[in-house]
Amino acid sequence: MSLITRCPVCGTAFRVQSSQLAAHGGTVRCGKCGGVFNGVAALVEESDQRLAFEPSPQLGLFDPGRRSSAARTSTTFANAPAPDFLAEPHDPRPSRWLWALAALLAAMAIGIQVAYRFRAELAASHPEAGMMLRMLCQPVGCDVPLPRRPDLMSIDSSELQADSRREGLIVLNAVIRNRARFPQDYPALELTLTDDGDQPVLRRVLVPRDYLEAPRRDEQLRHGIAPGGETPLHLFLDTSRTRAVGYRLYLFYPL
């Protein structure tokens, strides 16, 4: 079926076939002035008025004479960007790969932070993981300490007695128990002596080196308190300058 379309730039009318208009969504280029226009939107009705028809606008693109004419009369259209149907399609796959790589790197960073934060618990519950963590920590100067869970540590018993051999000397006896299923570091102890009104008269913080016995101290500090294990302690304190009648004892882990 033959149709008539008119170039809106130079007014030239063309006979075109419907297949030509359908080739690129109706977009054609004028074979006379080089203008790109929608051939479907520019269709006109054939009337009794004689029209000067030119060859199909698409055929005009391959006519050397018409190309040179278009270049002389319309340089603006020669420099115009190509229509959408001539543009190279955009491939979104590279951007998807970049997003996937960024997500993978973020997940790895979070995993490293979690492993570093809970490295002590991981090493205690999984010995194989502990060996790997120690290997990874060695080049960067970090260490893999024993776990510190004060909620799983307790003082099972304690008592404060006066030493009959020396006035003003008292003896603290206590038992520290590890209720976790993994070894834990030895905690620090806070001992507070109180007077008749339960007011503190002396407060002292005892670190593990203060209450562990010297011969096995380093070995005990290295291995910690075994799962379900306990550690008794006996500590002598000089209270000759205070009048203490009571005490309070707490365990904690220093920051």
pLDDT digits (tens, 9 = 90+) for 126-161: 666 666 766 777 666 677 778 889 999 999 999 988
Three-state secondary-structure class, residue 131 = helix
pLDDT band at residue 66 under the 50/70/90 scheme: very low
Task: Examine the pLDDT at 110 and tell me if it is beyond 70.
Answer: yes
Amino acid at 100: A
pLDDT value for 36: 86
Q: Which residue has the higher pLDDT, 116 or 216?
A: 216
Ranges 31-45, 104-118, 142-156, 191-205: which has the least confidence? 104-118
Q: Which residue has the higher pLDDT, 234 or 116?
A: 234
> For the chain, where do the domains classified as CATH 2.60.40 start and end?
150-252
CB 174 within 8 A of CB 158: yes
Q: What is the mean pLDDT of the chain?
A: 77
Q: pTM value?
A: 0.50
CATH number at 150-252: 2.60.40
Segment 112-139 shows an average pLDDT of 68
The share of the chain scoring above pLDDT 70, in percent, equals: 71
Task: Examine the pLDDT at 67 and tell me if it is beyond 60.
Answer: no
pLDDT band at residue 249 under the 50/70/90 scheme: very high
Q: Which residue has the higher pLDDT, 197 or 131?
A: 197
Task: Examine the pLDDT at 85 and tell me if it is beyond 90.
Answer: no
- Locus of tokens 């009571």: 246
Looking at the DSSP bridge assignments, the partners of residue 230 are 177
pLDDT value for 41: 82
pLDDT value for 232: 93
Which of 148, 118, 150 minimizes the C-alpha distance to 133? 118
pLDDT value for 64: 42
pLDDT value for 187: 96
Three-state secondary-structure class, residue 200 = strand
**Helices marked H in 36-164:** 57-60, 64-73, 75-78, 93-117, 119-125, 127-140
